[in-house]
């Protein structure tokens, strides 16, 4: 199975950017996720966005984001 997966990955990586995005979208939509988990992630994303919009969490500058300290 591993070689098949590796072969598929190699073939996918040879596609154009647009085709890889289309393939990724098709693969993701083919997987059935628990809607409760999706809802929980959406709630968390909305909380984080609200904290950034309010200034409670200023986020990172571009320099901080790309620095080794941010990881």
Write the pLDDT tens digit of every residue in 10-28.
999 999 999 999 999 999 9
How far apart CA 9 and CA 3 sit, in angstroms, is 10
For residue range 53-70, list pLDDT tens digits in order: 999 998 899 999 999 875
How far apart CA 66 and CA 63 sit, in angstroms, is 5
**Residue 4 token pair:** 């098949």
48 CB-near residues (< 8 Å, 6+ apart): 57
User: What are the residue boundaries of the structural domains of the chain, listed by start?
Assistant: 1-31, 33-71
């Amino acid at each position: 199975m591993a070689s098949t997966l590796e072969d598929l990955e190699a073939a996918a990586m040879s596609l154009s950017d647009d085709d890889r995005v289309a393939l990724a979208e098709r693969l993701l939509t083919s997987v059935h996720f628990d809607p409760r988990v999706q809802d929980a992630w959406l709630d968390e994303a909305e909380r984080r966005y609200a904290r950034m919009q309010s200034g409670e969490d200023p986020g990172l500058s571009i320099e901080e984001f790309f620095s080794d300290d941010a990881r």
